[in-house]
Copies of this chain bind each other. A is one copy, B any other.
Amino acid sequence: MATATASHTPEDVFDVEAIRAQFPILSEEVHGKSLVYLDTGASAQKPQLVMDAVDDMYKHAYSNVHRGAHRMSELATDRFEHAREQVRSFLNAAHSHEIIFVRNGTEACNLVAFSYAKKFLQEGDAILISEMEHHSNIVPWHMVAEEKGLRVLAVPVTDDGGFDMDAYDRLLEDGVKLVAVTHTSNVLGTVTPAKEIIRKAHAAGAKVLLDGCQSAVHMPVDVRDLDVDFYAITGHKLYGPSGIGVLYGKEELLNAMPPYQGGGSMIKTVTLTKSTYAPLPAKFEAGTPAIAQAVGFGAALDYMRSIGLDAIRDYEEDLRAYATQKLSAVPGLKIYGTMPGKAAVISFTLDKAHSHDVSTILDRHGVAIRAGHHCAQPLMDRFGVAATARASFGMYNTRADVDRLVEAVEFVSEIFG
Protein backbone atom coordinates (compact mmCIF):
# COMPACT_ATOMS: atom_id res chain seq x y z
CA MET A 1 0.00 0.00 0.00
CA ALA A 2 2.73 2.40 1.01
CA THR A 3 4.36 2.08 -2.37
CA ALA A 4 1.17 2.58 -4.28
CA THR A 5 0.04 5.73 -2.53
CA ALA A 6 3.33 7.43 -1.65
CA SER A 7 3.38 10.95 -2.99
CA HIS A 8 6.93 10.63 -4.33
CA THR A 9 7.08 7.65 -6.59
CA PRO A 10 10.03 6.85 -8.81
CA GLU A 11 7.88 8.08 -11.69
CA ASP A 12 8.50 11.59 -10.41
CA VAL A 13 12.23 11.39 -10.88
CA PHE A 14 12.36 8.90 -13.72
CA ASP A 15 11.27 10.63 -16.90
CA VAL A 16 9.27 7.79 -18.35
CA GLU A 17 7.52 10.06 -20.84
CA ALA A 18 10.86 10.99 -22.39
CA ILE A 19 11.69 7.32 -22.61
CA ARG A 20 8.32 6.43 -24.14
CA ALA A 21 8.83 9.12 -26.76
CA GLN A 22 11.87 7.17 -27.97
CA PHE A 23 9.72 4.08 -28.74
CA PRO A 24 7.51 4.69 -31.78
CA ILE A 25 5.59 1.45 -31.40
CA LEU A 26 4.14 2.56 -28.08
CA SER A 27 1.94 4.99 -30.00
CA GLU A 28 0.35 2.16 -31.97
CA GLU A 29 -3.24 1.10 -31.51
CA VAL A 30 -4.28 -2.49 -31.21
CA HIS A 31 -7.92 -3.43 -31.69
CA GLY A 32 -8.74 0.27 -31.41
CA LYS A 33 -6.98 0.66 -28.05
CA SER A 34 -3.61 2.19 -27.38
CA LEU A 35 -1.01 -0.53 -26.99
CA VAL A 36 0.02 -1.60 -23.50
CA TYR A 37 3.08 -3.73 -24.12
CA LEU A 38 3.75 -6.10 -21.25
CA ASP A 39 5.71 -8.69 -23.18
CA THR A 40 9.20 -7.27 -22.84
CA GLY A 41 10.27 -10.59 -21.37
CA ALA A 42 9.72 -12.16 -24.79
CA SER A 43 11.29 -9.27 -26.66
CA ALA A 44 11.74 -5.60 -25.86
CA GLN A 45 10.63 -2.82 -28.17
CA LYS A 46 13.24 -0.69 -29.92
CA PRO A 47 14.02 2.98 -29.37
CA GLN A 48 14.33 5.20 -32.41
CA LEU A 49 18.00 5.73 -31.70
CA VAL A 50 18.71 2.04 -32.19
CA MET A 51 17.05 2.12 -35.62
CA ASP A 52 18.97 5.30 -36.36
CA ALA A 53 22.30 3.75 -35.39
CA VAL A 54 21.68 0.86 -37.77
CA ASP A 55 20.47 3.04 -40.62
CA ASP A 56 23.27 5.51 -40.13
CA MET A 57 25.74 2.73 -40.56
CA TYR A 58 24.06 1.48 -43.75
CA LYS A 59 24.00 5.04 -45.07
CA HIS A 60 27.45 6.24 -44.17
CA ALA A 61 29.80 3.53 -42.99
CA TYR A 62 28.84 0.15 -44.32
CA SER A 63 31.01 -2.59 -45.75
CA ASN A 64 32.14 -5.96 -44.61
CA VAL A 65 34.43 -5.77 -41.58
CA HIS A 66 38.01 -6.88 -40.98
CA ARG A 67 38.51 -7.64 -44.62
CA GLY A 68 39.01 -4.63 -46.76
CA ALA A 69 41.69 -2.06 -47.07
CA HIS A 70 39.33 0.69 -48.05
CA ARG A 71 37.75 3.51 -46.14
CA MET A 72 34.23 2.11 -45.80
CA SER A 73 35.64 -1.10 -44.48
CA GLU A 74 37.73 0.78 -41.93
CA LEU A 75 34.73 2.81 -40.81
CA ALA A 76 32.54 -0.27 -40.55
CA THR A 77 35.20 -2.16 -38.61
CA ASP A 78 35.64 0.78 -36.22
CA ARG A 79 31.92 0.93 -35.49
CA PHE A 80 31.64 -2.82 -35.11
CA GLU A 81 34.58 -3.01 -32.73
CA HIS A 82 33.30 0.01 -30.87
CA ALA A 83 30.10 -1.96 -30.26
CA ARG A 84 32.16 -4.77 -28.80
CA GLU A 85 33.78 -2.26 -26.48
CA GLN A 86 30.33 -0.92 -25.51
CA VAL A 87 29.27 -4.42 -24.50
CA ARG A 88 32.52 -4.96 -22.62
CA SER A 89 31.99 -1.83 -20.66
CA PHE A 90 28.29 -2.61 -20.04
CA LEU A 91 29.23 -5.98 -18.52
CA ASN A 92 32.47 -4.67 -17.04
CA ALA A 93 34.47 -7.43 -18.69
CA ALA A 94 38.24 -7.17 -18.52
CA HIS A 95 38.88 -7.38 -22.26
CA SER A 96 36.81 -6.66 -25.32
CA HIS A 97 38.00 -9.89 -26.91
CA GLU A 98 36.08 -11.72 -24.19
CA ILE A 99 32.93 -10.48 -25.91
CA ILE A 100 31.79 -12.93 -28.59
CA PHE A 101 28.99 -11.81 -30.88
CA VAL A 102 26.41 -14.53 -31.52
CA ARG A 103 22.83 -14.58 -32.83
CA ASN A 104 20.95 -14.70 -29.55
CA GLY A 105 21.03 -15.99 -25.99
CA THR A 106 20.29 -19.48 -27.20
CA GLU A 107 23.37 -19.58 -29.38
CA ALA A 108 25.50 -18.30 -26.50
CA CYS A 109 24.44 -21.36 -24.44
CA ASN A 110 24.99 -23.68 -27.39
CA LEU A 111 28.47 -22.30 -27.90
CA VAL A 112 29.41 -23.20 -24.33
CA ALA A 113 27.81 -26.63 -24.74
CA PHE A 114 29.38 -27.55 -28.06
CA SER A 115 32.77 -25.96 -27.56
CA TYR A 116 33.48 -25.93 -23.83
CA ALA A 117 31.46 -28.86 -22.44
CA LYS A 118 32.04 -31.09 -25.43
CA LYS A 119 35.77 -30.69 -25.12
CA PHE A 120 36.36 -30.47 -21.39
CA LEU A 121 33.73 -32.72 -19.82
CA GLN A 122 34.26 -36.47 -19.71
CA GLU A 123 31.84 -39.36 -19.77
CA GLY A 124 29.98 -39.50 -16.48
CA ASP A 125 30.62 -35.85 -15.57
CA ALA A 126 27.56 -33.85 -14.64
CA ILE A 127 26.14 -30.54 -15.79
CA LEU A 128 23.99 -28.88 -13.17
CA ILE A 129 21.06 -26.79 -14.32
CA SER A 130 17.94 -25.79 -12.39
CA GLU A 131 14.26 -26.46 -12.64
CA MET A 132 13.59 -22.88 -13.65
CA GLU A 133 15.71 -22.83 -16.80
CA HIS A 134 14.57 -21.60 -20.15
CA HIS A 135 14.72 -24.32 -22.84
CA SER A 136 17.77 -22.65 -24.31
CA ASN A 137 19.64 -23.51 -21.14
CA ILE A 138 18.29 -27.08 -21.06
CA VAL A 139 18.17 -28.50 -24.56
CA PRO A 140 21.83 -27.84 -25.48
CA TRP A 141 22.84 -29.79 -22.38
CA HIS A 142 20.61 -32.70 -23.35
CA MET A 143 22.18 -32.70 -26.76
CA VAL A 144 25.79 -32.62 -25.62
CA ALA A 145 25.02 -35.05 -22.79
CA GLU A 146 23.65 -37.56 -25.25
CA GLU A 147 26.66 -37.17 -27.48
CA LYS A 148 29.25 -37.42 -24.72
CA GLY A 149 27.58 -39.58 -22.09
CA LEU A 150 27.23 -36.75 -19.57
CA ARG A 151 24.59 -36.43 -16.89
CA VAL A 152 22.25 -33.45 -16.55
CA LEU A 153 21.16 -32.72 -12.97
CA ALA A 154 18.74 -30.03 -11.87
CA VAL A 155 18.46 -27.91 -8.74
CA PRO A 156 14.84 -27.87 -7.54
CA VAL A 157 12.80 -24.71 -7.20
CA THR A 158 11.17 -23.91 -3.87
CA ASP A 159 7.46 -23.17 -3.53
CA ASP A 160 8.05 -19.43 -3.54
CA GLY A 161 10.12 -19.75 -6.70
CA GLY A 162 13.54 -19.71 -5.07
CA PHE A 163 16.73 -21.54 -5.97
CA ASP A 164 17.05 -24.44 -3.50
CA MET A 165 20.48 -23.75 -2.06
CA ASP A 166 20.57 -26.83 0.17
CA ALA A 167 19.89 -29.07 -2.77
CA TYR A 168 22.50 -27.18 -4.75
CA ASP A 169 25.12 -27.85 -2.08
CA ARG A 170 24.33 -31.56 -2.21
CA LEU A 171 24.13 -31.83 -5.98
CA LEU A 172 27.42 -30.01 -6.50
CA GLU A 173 29.19 -32.96 -4.88
CA ASP A 174 27.91 -35.33 -7.55
CA GLY A 175 30.62 -34.95 -10.17
CA VAL A 176 29.44 -31.58 -11.40
CA LYS A 177 31.90 -29.92 -13.78
CA LEU A 178 29.67 -27.20 -15.14
CA VAL A 179 26.84 -25.23 -13.56
CA ALA A 180 24.48 -23.61 -16.07
CA VAL A 181 21.76 -21.65 -14.36
CA THR A 182 19.70 -18.60 -14.99
CA HIS A 183 20.51 -15.27 -13.42
CA THR A 184 16.86 -14.22 -13.59
CA SER A 185 13.93 -16.53 -14.27
CA ASN A 186 11.84 -15.49 -17.26
CA VAL A 187 8.73 -16.92 -15.57
CA LEU A 188 9.14 -16.33 -11.85
CA GLY A 189 11.24 -13.18 -11.96
CA THR A 190 13.48 -14.81 -9.37
CA VAL A 191 16.98 -13.38 -9.28
CA THR A 192 19.21 -16.28 -8.31
CA PRO A 193 21.97 -15.80 -5.70
CA ALA A 194 24.58 -15.81 -8.42
CA LYS A 195 27.61 -14.87 -6.37
CA GLU A 196 27.01 -17.66 -3.90
CA ILE A 197 26.30 -20.13 -6.69
CA ILE A 198 29.54 -19.19 -8.42
CA ARG A 199 31.67 -19.20 -5.29
CA LYS A 200 30.47 -22.68 -4.35
CA ALA A 201 30.83 -24.01 -7.87
CA HIS A 202 34.38 -22.79 -8.09
CA ALA A 203 35.15 -24.33 -4.71
CA ALA A 204 33.81 -27.62 -6.09
CA GLY A 205 35.95 -27.27 -9.22
CA ALA A 206 33.08 -26.47 -11.58
CA LYS A 207 32.77 -23.63 -14.07
CA VAL A 208 29.62 -21.51 -14.27
CA LEU A 209 27.53 -20.23 -17.16
CA LEU A 210 24.93 -17.71 -16.11
CA ASP A 211 22.00 -17.23 -18.45
CA GLY A 212 21.64 -13.47 -18.17
CA CYS A 213 19.04 -13.06 -20.90
CA GLN A 214 16.49 -11.72 -18.45
CA SER A 215 18.85 -9.96 -16.06
CA ALA A 216 20.71 -7.23 -17.81
CA VAL A 217 17.46 -5.56 -18.84
CA HIS A 218 16.39 -5.12 -15.23
CA MET A 219 19.60 -4.45 -13.30
CA PRO A 220 23.32 -3.69 -13.57
CA VAL A 221 25.53 -6.71 -14.28
CA ASP A 222 29.24 -6.93 -13.51
CA VAL A 223 30.83 -10.12 -14.75
CA ARG A 224 34.07 -9.47 -12.90
CA ASP A 225 32.37 -8.81 -9.62
CA LEU A 226 30.35 -12.00 -10.14
CA ASP A 227 33.54 -13.82 -11.12
CA VAL A 228 31.39 -15.75 -13.58
CA ASP A 229 33.04 -17.89 -16.25
CA PHE A 230 30.46 -17.44 -19.01
CA TYR A 231 27.58 -15.00 -19.27
CA ALA A 232 24.89 -15.05 -21.99
CA ILE A 233 22.85 -12.05 -23.07
CA THR A 234 20.56 -11.41 -26.01
CA GLY A 235 20.22 -8.08 -27.81
CA HIS A 236 16.51 -8.09 -28.58
CA LYS A 237 15.59 -8.29 -24.91
CA LEU A 238 17.87 -5.34 -24.15
CA TYR A 239 16.14 -2.87 -26.45
CA GLY A 240 18.58 -3.81 -29.22
CA PRO A 241 17.94 -5.26 -32.68
CA SER A 242 16.95 -8.85 -33.24
CA GLY A 243 19.66 -11.14 -34.56
CA ILE A 244 22.42 -10.27 -32.09
CA GLY A 245 23.50 -11.73 -28.78
CA VAL A 246 26.69 -12.00 -26.79
CA LEU A 247 28.59 -14.67 -24.98
CA TYR A 248 31.01 -13.30 -22.45
CA GLY A 249 33.71 -15.77 -21.45
CA LYS A 250 36.86 -15.50 -19.41
CA GLU A 251 39.86 -15.11 -21.67
CA GLU A 252 41.72 -18.21 -20.52
CA LEU A 253 38.65 -20.40 -21.04
CA LEU A 254 37.86 -19.01 -24.46
CA ASN A 255 41.49 -19.41 -25.46
CA ALA A 256 41.45 -23.06 -24.47
CA MET A 257 38.20 -23.83 -26.29
CA PRO A 258 38.02 -25.19 -29.84
CA PRO A 259 36.12 -23.15 -32.43
CA TYR A 260 32.40 -23.58 -32.73
CA GLN A 261 31.66 -22.89 -36.37
CA GLY A 262 34.19 -22.87 -39.20
CA GLY A 263 34.53 -20.34 -41.97
CA GLY A 264 35.93 -16.99 -42.95
CA SER A 265 37.52 -14.65 -40.41
CA MET A 266 38.03 -17.32 -37.77
CA ILE A 267 41.08 -18.91 -39.35
CA LYS A 268 44.78 -18.23 -39.33
CA THR A 269 45.67 -20.53 -42.22
CA VAL A 270 43.71 -22.86 -44.44
CA THR A 271 45.05 -25.43 -46.84
CA LEU A 272 42.99 -28.06 -48.54
CA THR A 273 43.66 -30.48 -45.71
CA LYS A 274 44.05 -28.42 -42.57
CA SER A 275 42.89 -25.24 -40.86
CA THR A 276 44.43 -23.36 -37.94
CA TYR A 277 42.49 -20.80 -35.98
CA ALA A 278 42.64 -17.11 -35.28
CA PRO A 279 42.95 -15.56 -31.82
CA LEU A 280 39.96 -14.22 -29.85
CA PRO A 281 37.36 -13.02 -30.54
CA ALA A 282 37.61 -13.94 -34.24
CA LYS A 283 37.97 -17.66 -33.48
CA PHE A 284 34.30 -17.78 -32.48
CA GLU A 285 32.91 -15.45 -35.11
CA ALA A 286 32.90 -17.40 -38.37
CA GLY A 287 31.63 -15.63 -41.44
CA THR A 288 30.23 -12.17 -41.79
CA PRO A 289 28.86 -11.17 -38.40
CA ALA A 290 25.64 -9.32 -37.67
CA ILE A 291 27.55 -6.09 -38.23
CA ALA A 292 24.84 -3.47 -38.13
CA GLN A 293 22.96 -5.33 -35.39
CA ALA A 294 26.01 -5.24 -33.15
CA VAL A 295 26.21 -1.51 -33.71
CA GLY A 296 22.51 -1.11 -32.90
CA PHE A 297 22.98 -3.21 -29.81
CA GLY A 298 25.84 -1.00 -28.64
CA ALA A 299 23.59 2.02 -29.05
CA ALA A 300 20.84 0.33 -27.00
CA LEU A 301 23.25 -0.42 -24.17
CA ASP A 302 24.56 3.12 -24.12
CA TYR A 303 20.99 4.36 -24.01
CA MET A 304 20.21 2.18 -21.01
CA ARG A 305 23.33 3.43 -19.30
CA SER A 306 22.43 7.03 -20.01
CA ILE A 307 19.21 6.44 -18.08
CA GLY A 308 21.03 4.45 -15.44
CA LEU A 309 20.72 0.76 -14.67
CA ASP A 310 20.07 1.47 -11.01
CA ALA A 311 17.37 3.97 -11.88
CA ILE A 312 15.77 1.44 -14.23
CA ARG A 313 15.84 -1.22 -11.54
CA ASP A 314 14.26 1.06 -8.94
CA TYR A 315 11.62 2.28 -11.33
CA GLU A 316 10.67 -1.23 -12.41
CA GLU A 317 10.64 -2.40 -8.81
CA ASP A 318 7.99 0.20 -8.08
CA LEU A 319 5.95 -0.99 -11.05
CA ARG A 320 6.31 -4.58 -9.96
CA ALA A 321 5.19 -3.82 -6.44
CA TYR A 322 2.24 -1.80 -7.68
CA ALA A 323 1.18 -4.48 -10.15
CA THR A 324 1.60 -7.24 -7.58
CA GLN A 325 -0.59 -5.42 -5.13
CA LYS A 326 -3.33 -4.71 -7.66
CA LEU A 327 -3.31 -8.17 -9.22
CA SER A 328 -3.32 -9.88 -5.84
CA ALA A 329 -6.65 -8.23 -5.16
CA VAL A 330 -8.25 -10.04 -8.12
CA PRO A 331 -10.22 -13.06 -6.78
CA GLY A 332 -8.86 -16.40 -7.92
CA LEU A 333 -5.61 -14.95 -9.22
CA LYS A 334 -2.44 -16.75 -8.21
CA ILE A 335 1.06 -15.36 -8.73
CA TYR A 336 4.00 -17.72 -9.29
CA GLY A 337 7.28 -16.53 -7.86
CA THR A 338 7.28 -14.37 -4.77
CA MET A 339 10.94 -14.12 -3.86
CA PRO A 340 12.20 -10.85 -2.47
CA GLY A 341 14.25 -8.88 -4.97
CA LYS A 342 12.53 -10.46 -7.95
CA ALA A 343 12.50 -8.70 -11.32
CA ALA A 344 9.46 -7.06 -12.89
CA VAL A 345 8.04 -10.26 -14.36
CA ILE A 346 4.70 -11.49 -13.04
CA SER A 347 3.35 -14.90 -13.97
CA PHE A 348 -0.14 -15.72 -12.85
CA THR A 349 -3.09 -17.99 -13.38
CA LEU A 350 -6.79 -17.41 -12.84
CA ASP A 351 -8.71 -20.27 -11.32
CA LYS A 352 -11.61 -20.02 -13.76
CA ALA A 353 -9.86 -19.15 -17.02
CA HIS A 354 -7.06 -20.78 -18.95
CA SER A 355 -4.09 -18.52 -19.62
CA HIS A 356 -4.63 -18.67 -23.33
CA ASP A 357 -8.13 -17.28 -22.90
CA VAL A 358 -6.73 -14.63 -20.58
CA SER A 359 -4.25 -13.44 -23.14
CA THR A 360 -6.85 -13.32 -25.92
CA ILE A 361 -9.15 -11.22 -23.79
CA LEU A 362 -6.36 -8.93 -22.67
CA ASP A 363 -5.23 -8.53 -26.26
CA ARG A 364 -8.66 -7.19 -27.23
CA HIS A 365 -8.13 -4.64 -24.49
CA GLY A 366 -4.88 -3.61 -26.13
CA VAL A 367 -2.84 -5.30 -23.42
CA ALA A 368 -0.08 -7.56 -24.78
CA ILE A 369 0.98 -10.28 -22.40
CA ARG A 370 2.19 -13.77 -23.08
CA ALA A 371 0.49 -17.04 -22.25
CA GLY A 372 1.98 -20.49 -22.41
CA HIS A 373 4.86 -22.46 -21.04
CA HIS A 374 7.33 -19.63 -21.71
CA CYS A 375 9.88 -22.13 -22.99
CA ALA A 376 10.13 -23.45 -19.45
CA GLN A 377 8.18 -26.69 -19.49
CA PRO A 378 10.02 -28.28 -16.56
CA LEU A 379 9.08 -25.30 -14.42
CA MET A 380 5.45 -25.63 -15.51
CA ASP A 381 5.62 -29.30 -14.50
CA ARG A 382 7.13 -28.26 -11.17
CA PHE A 383 4.13 -26.05 -10.43
CA GLY A 384 1.66 -28.46 -11.98
CA VAL A 385 0.34 -26.03 -14.56
CA ALA A 386 0.26 -26.34 -18.34
CA ALA A 387 0.63 -22.62 -18.85
CA THR A 388 0.63 -19.28 -17.10
CA ALA A 389 -0.11 -15.76 -18.17
CA ARG A 390 2.90 -13.48 -17.86
CA ALA A 391 3.12 -9.71 -17.69
CA SER A 392 6.70 -8.55 -18.05
CA PHE A 393 7.73 -4.93 -17.72
CA GLY A 394 10.25 -2.69 -19.39
CA MET A 395 11.53 0.76 -18.57
CA TYR A 396 8.82 2.28 -20.76
CA ASN A 397 5.88 0.90 -18.80
CA THR A 398 3.83 2.97 -16.37
CA ARG A 399 1.37 2.55 -13.55
CA ALA A 400 -1.30 3.45 -16.07
CA ASP A 401 -0.26 0.32 -17.99
CA VAL A 402 -0.73 -1.69 -14.83
CA ASP A 403 -4.20 -0.23 -14.38
CA ARG A 404 -5.11 -1.20 -17.92
CA LEU A 405 -3.81 -4.72 -17.25
CA VAL A 406 -5.84 -5.10 -14.11
CA GLU A 407 -8.98 -3.71 -15.73
CA ALA A 408 -8.67 -6.27 -18.52
CA VAL A 409 -8.07 -9.10 -16.06
CA GLU A 410 -11.24 -8.05 -14.28
CA PHE A 411 -13.09 -8.36 -17.57
CA VAL A 412 -11.84 -11.94 -17.83
CA SER A 413 -13.36 -12.65 -14.45
CA GLU A 414 -16.58 -11.05 -15.63
CA ILE A 415 -16.77 -13.38 -18.64
CA PHE A 416 -15.67 -16.51 -16.86
CA GLY A 417 -17.77 -15.75 -13.80
Q: Is the CB of A262 within 8 A of B378?
A: no
The DSSP consensus for interface residues of chain A is mixed
Known A289-B243, A370-B70; contact A110-B35, beta-carbon cutoff 8 A: no
* Residues of chain B with a CB closer than 8 A to A51's CB: 54-55, 58-59
CA distance A377 to B278 in the complex (A): 14
Shortest Cβ distance from A151 into B: residue = B273
Decide if A149 is an interface residue (CB 8 Å cutoff): no
Shortest Cβ distance from A52 into B: residue = B55
Decide if A360 is an interface residue (CB 8 Å cutoff): yes
Interface string of A372-406 (1 = CB under 8 A from B): 10010110010000000000000000000000000
Shortest Cβ distance from A235 into B: residue = B288
Interface size on A, residues (CB 8 A): 94
* Residues of chain B with a CB closer than 8 A to A176's CB: none
Known A261-B140, A272-B152; contact A63-B43, beta-carbon cutoff 8 A: yes
Interface positions, chain A 216-272, Cβ under 8 Å from B, are 234, 236, 241-244, 259, 261-267, 269-272
Question: Which among A163-171, A290-298, A325-333 touches the partner chain?
Answer: A290-298
CA distance A356 to B264 in the complex (A): 19
CA distance A142 to B270 in the complex (A): 10
CA distance A372 to B64 in the complex (A): 14
Decide if A60 is an interface residue (CB 8 Å cutoff): yes
* Residues of chain B with a CB closer than 8 A to A24's CB: 58-60
Interface string of A1-16 (1 = CB under 8 A from B): 0000000000000000
Question: Which among A91-99, A129-137, A187-195, A344-352 touches the partner chain?
Answer: A129-137
CA distance A272 to B127 in the complex (A): 12
* Residues of chain B with a CB closer than 8 A to A143's CB: 259, 262, 275
Interface positions, chain A 267-311, Cβ under 8 Å from B, are 267, 269-275, 286-293
Report which of B35, B63, B139 forms a contact with A368, defined as CB distance below 8 A: B63
- Leading 7 A-B pairs by shortest Cβ distance: A106-B287, A139-B262, A243-B290, A136-B263, A106-B263, A264-B375, A243-B243
Residues in chain A within 8 A of chain B (CB atoms): 24-25, 28, 30-31, 35, 37, 39, 42-43, 45-46, 50-51, 54-55, 58-60, 62-64, 67-73, 103-107, 109-110, 113, 129, 131, 134-136, 138-143, 152, 154, 234, 236, 241-244, 259, 261-267, 269-275, 286-293, 356, 359-360, 362-363, 367-372, 375, 377-378, 381
